[in-house]
Structure 1
Amino acid sequence: MHITGTTRLFFCIADPIDQVRAPEVFNSIFARHGIDAAMVPLRVPAARLEATLRALLESPTVGGVSLSIPHKAAATAIVDRPSAAARAANAVNAVRRNAAGEFEGELFDGLGFMRSLDRAGIAYAGRRVLVIGAGGAASAVTTALAASGVGEIALFDPDREKARQLAALLRRDFGIAASDAPSNDPAGFDVIVNASPLGLKSTDPLPVDVARIADHAALCDILMKNQPTPLLRAARSRGLVAEPGFDMLILQTPLYLDFFGYPELAESVRAEDSYLRALLVPQALRAETASDLPG
């Protein structure tokens, strides 16, 4: 990577930061296509999010910011123009400054997640879905699921109030059967989604009891660090369909590129993204994940 005074910079902001994969993806794309741009990971504590966003986006050198844990929900109160998807989920994962100086916020996680289900052949229409977590990632996933015709959504989070609030939002905005689950028991659900940080640390407990998952059910663990996670391994050892979060990131990357002003580059990535899967997916998973399915 050759950075000069003309390089257009993008930032990926999170706290912690070591689990993020977006900089690898974007820098690989920029290098492959000879684009004078780079994405830099930046650890920013929650208390400094607004000040950091405003400082970065004041610079004409900075083309935009990608947001990860735990900033997606907080960013909705900072941006001036959140998209419809961002408003629905109360979460933002991309911010740019427009010509008028306003901050525009977008949310691509939900669409990336739905496209990853389609690529993996996981049925969701009319199905019962259990989502572990009620933060920004869970908001994006559940609003996209609700808009795509699932039958029921149950949310489990140790913070019951967060789960109640998200369930209420889903009922109000989508008219879907949504509830805060009293436990993380996956029995009776068709699709189980881990949208929590559980699995980032080797000492974390499993988000659900895999032995309780129905034989026909599918599991999605949207984490991209420490894959295959203990949850993914346990599910696959039972012969269940179990997918990591790599395609969720890969399939939303063209949306980011459009948003950041690279429409032709976005089309190139839509047409060919196998090199991104080779970059992200660990060797142990490549032969058995949806990354080997045709795009």
Structure 2
Amino acid sequence: MTLAIDIGGATRIYPVIGDPIAQVQTPRLINPLFAEHGLDIVSVPVHTPAVRLRDVWEALRVTPNVAGIAVTVPHKVSAAGLCSSLTDAARAVGAVNTVRRAEDGAMHGALFDGVGFVEGLGDERKRLEGSTVLLIGAGGAGRAIAHALAAEKIARLHIVDERSDAAAMAASMVNQGKGCAIATTAWPDFASCGVVINATPLGLKPGDAMPLSESCIRTDMLIADIAALDRETPLLAAARRLGCATSDGDAMLKAQLGLVAGFIAGLPAGALLSQDPTAIR
């Protein structure tokens, strides 16, 4: 679906901040949704190195026609600390992926990464129940996914990260929420692992290494990578070559659009969720 986007003096801005930024798909996906629902909001990419995050944040916070901010890697955790308030999911995970700016400049942070990932699996979501899951990466998006997976009746969750403290924090969050120890920071026995999720930046840049060896992948696995790109990551390319079921970051991102658009417009978070994200091109 292609809709004309009319930008005028009253248009509010929804910038996407991140580093790198060239790969982000949010503007091309969410702008048609804003237009379809008559929301005079436009999303644009804003390249924001980590050392400039506070400067860019403050400039956007005091700009009256900024509707909010979309937050991508590597700022999801840092941005949570800059918000005036957080949704329950954002508070539990300690990260945000979207922020709504109020008229007084207050910044209200939310996190839709976890539910977006699960919804983005589509029919493959049924694989989660009873499965042993490997989650690689315990940054903002990884913790959000871990938080959402805990509600999916998985049997076991292995969370690994080069930062052992980040993995331990994510596992503790899951276990406290479940009231039992289903999450661990150890690598799984791949013979019993049914789902592998890459929530690290590996794959964003051409030439990146895979987050795990191809020899660990079985043909009956579900392999997911949260990178939203116009090309395959090395992990997804290997998985599809082997005939695995896969899910990419574009599916995750599209599944979030209705939630995010409604939240930024000041509507109840699920108000636009009935929009079929797969129909947006």
Matched ranges for 1:188-227 at <5 A: 188-227=192-231
- Contact preservation (8 Å) 1:191, 1:217: yes
Q: How does 1:105-144 map to 2 (within 5 A)?
A: 105-144=109-148
Match of 2:247 in 1: 243
Cα distance between partner residues in 2 of 1:71 and 1:265: 22
Partner of 2:265: 261
Question: Runs of 5+ in structure 1 lacking a partner?
Answer: 280-295
What amino acid sits opposite 1:37 in the alignment? Answer: I
Unaligned runs of 5+ in 2: none
State the TM-score, normalized to the length of structure 1: 0.85
Tell me the equivalent position of 2:182.
177
- With normalisation by structure 2, the TM-score equals 0.88
Measure the CA separation in 2 of the matches of 1:161 and 1:93: 22
Distance in 2 of aligned mates of 1:216 and 1:274? 25
Q: Is 1:233 matched up with 2:237?
A: yes
Tell me how far apart the structure 1 counterparts of residues 270 and 184 of structure 2 sit (CA, whole Å): 37
One-letter amino acid of the counterpart of residue 277, structure 2:
D
For residues 231 and 274 of structure 1, the distance between their equivalents in structure 2, rounded to whole angstroms, comes to 23
Cα distance between partner residues in 2 of 1:65 and 1:147? 27
**C-alpha separation in 1, matches of 2:34 and 2:103:** 24
Partners of 1:224 and 1:172 lie apart in 2 by: 30
Q: CA deviation at 1:233?
A: 1.9
- Which structure has more relative contact order (CA 8 Å, sep 6+)? It is 2
Identity of aligned residues (%): 36
Number of aligned pairs? 276
> Measured at CA, do residues 267 and 162 of structure 1 come closer, stay the same or move farther in structure 2, by a change above 3 Å?
closer
Whole-Å Cα distance in 1 between the matches of residues 105 and 10 of structure 2?
21
SS in 2 for 1:153: strand
Looking at structure 2, the residues matched to 265 and 59 of structure 1 have their Cα atoms a distance apart, in angstroms, of: 23
* Per-residue deviation, residues 117-174 of structure 1 (Å, max 9, x unmatched): 2443441122111011111110111111012221211112222222222222222333
1:24 to 1:186, Cα distance in 2 relative to 1, 3 A? farther
Q: Say which of 46, 53, 64 aligns to 1:42.
A: 46
What SS class does the counterpart of residue 11 from structure 1 fall into? Answer: strand
Q: How much has 1:185 moved relative to structure 2? A: 7.0
